[in-house]
A and B are shown apart, each in its own frame.
Chain A
Amino acid sequence: MSWEAPGGAFHPASTPDYLPVAQMRELQLARLRNVVRRAFERVPLFRQRLDERGFRPEHLGELADVRKLPFTTKADLRDTYPTGLFASPNDEIVRLHASSGTTGKPIVVAYTRRDLDVWTEVMVRAFAACGLNHGDVVQNAYGYGLFTGGLGAHYGAEALGATVIPASGGNTDRQIMLLKDFGVTAICCTPSYFIYVLERAAELGVSIRDLPLRAGIFGAEPWTESMRRHIETLGAIQAFDIYGLSEIIGPGVGIECAFHDGLHIFEDHFYPEIVDPETGRALEEGEEGELVLTTLSKQAMPMIRYRTRDITSLKAETCACGRTVRRIARIGRRSDDMFIIRGINVFPSQIETALLAVEGTVPHYQIVLTREKGLDSIEVQVEVTPEVFGDTVGSMEGLQHRLAHALERTLGLRADVTLAAPRTIQRSEGKAKRVIDKRNLTEAPNENTPTLALPRK
């Protein structure tokens, strides 16, 4: 990479993060034309879709014409499993990753040598935005393997010049030992896992706040400002939100800078749009909707207008940090996580808000959906914490009622609250599984039930 400052340290100002906007748009248009041509020539599904519209790559006159292109969805990746959307021959593909595929077939993503270089480049820029550089010790607790988190963060931190500890996920006691013994200054993992690390460290008598650790790069699941406050207060670190998805590249699509005012999108590689999740209509800057991304430089697997299912908005003004690339608002919810119960759209983040209002912190919780005689019920299981445990039945029932009331007020429907003993709700070492849907939703979907809707404010 060519951003070595004379002293040898990486200098973030040498990256396209600070490119004048007009120059960025020019670069994006040129790259968009290339990638659309590549997909058109090499991906039969994409070609067929353009043909149906009578659209040719050369019809792309300006950036706004991107809206004339068809969307790509997760279903497209599944339907063409495993290699149907590849745009490079086998001998140019140097890496494959795959999603866990909890609902049916996994999705597979491919990289050429240059794709991996781009991935590493954006991860270097991401770590730099978090203030990391040579001399930092990065513990990478994202899972190594088919999941993109592990290797993505690994190569980025290594290329930055930091010392990388490839801890991978799990084995929490060892994670804590490494943090303590190796002078770790930054950790990469999911935010829910780090909260578990804090819990476990306290049990082991290790004070994370007294360690050199100063930054956490947290991603791979939606999280909230209350979780950030919890992490920053207990851990005495700065928590950075990192955004990415395997379909686009993995982690490194966007990152917060030290101002924590949205996530900078590395838009010289990933072109962002916001659309209405129901109609697909393009929305204006600042409007909230679904994030759609186009990979501008991907070779092995170009994604044109990929529907991320993440709900956010775009911000164009230059950030206080000086970066000119656009930002997205933090993603608190995915239209995927959303569940519909009795016709009402519910996001786990709303449940968190209600729990926070009652208890002052967010306890460990799980949502269980059941259906009996055609009627759906929602049960929220909440672990009792020492702060709220009183020894009278009245105080505990009072807590139960206050939680139920807060949930009903926030969600607009009655939720059952079950108080659970500490550490009885399963901890995840990857993405937290908040919703257990036990309803048997195999009947034909009701035509009148919206499958996707914007969250209520």
Chain B
Amino acid sequence: MTILQVNDLGITFGGLRAVDGVSFQVSLGEVFSIIGPNGAGKTTLFNLVTGIYRAGRGSIRLAGEDVTQLAPHLLVRRGMARTFQNLQIFFRMTAIENVMVGNHLSERTSLLADLFALPSVARQNRRTRERALELLERVGLAHHAETTAGELSYGVLKRLEIARALAADPKVLLLDEPAAGCNAVETEAIDRLIGQIAESGVAVVLIEHDMKLVMKISDRVLVLAHGKRLAEGSPRVVRNDPAVVAAYLGEHGAREADRAHG
């Protein structure tokens, strides 16, 4: 079932068409990867889809509804969550508090109730904490729950961001380079995690430079170059597309991808 539908999306920065008429669709339970050389417009496309930038043209439909001009915090309400290329962690909060903030939308207390610490706040805090702990367990970070995020390593924080995004109970999860800067073991863990998330019925949209990872876990791949769609299809089709090879993968990349796919 199609959950996210992006149509002819575009934005211009001072004459540069950073994203130029890109369209794609993502279904529930699918891993959809966006690849392309640096500066191809991948993160800009993410920022458009998640409402951080306002689209200059085109439309975004989430679960059939037009959400093109919605602010980020409203998009989350409709089931879209994301992680960031450059970590956006709440560094002064503990790991579990980071995930608890991710639960913000399901928390049912008012500012006044919070001020006067009504019993409902304590109940809510307990529920939120339990759920956050479950999510930390799911990404394998339960033992770091009470550690201040600023003291955790980069690879750990990458997974913490995923747990925080999952806390919002998304139908569409956008991951911006989740394995960047991670070692082989951490990449392996993130690979498994993404597979599990997709299996649970969430649509995963992935930006990633690790070609082995992309070719292994993606159901479909969109290749961007200069803000435009260069190719789209299964990993096998994309990998063998001459235009893609020329623009991005290069001879070496194509060999790597081949090897990964077996």
Q: Answer whether A and B are interacting partners.
A: no
B-to-A contact residues, CB < 8 Å:
none
A-to-B contact residues, CB < 8 Å:
none
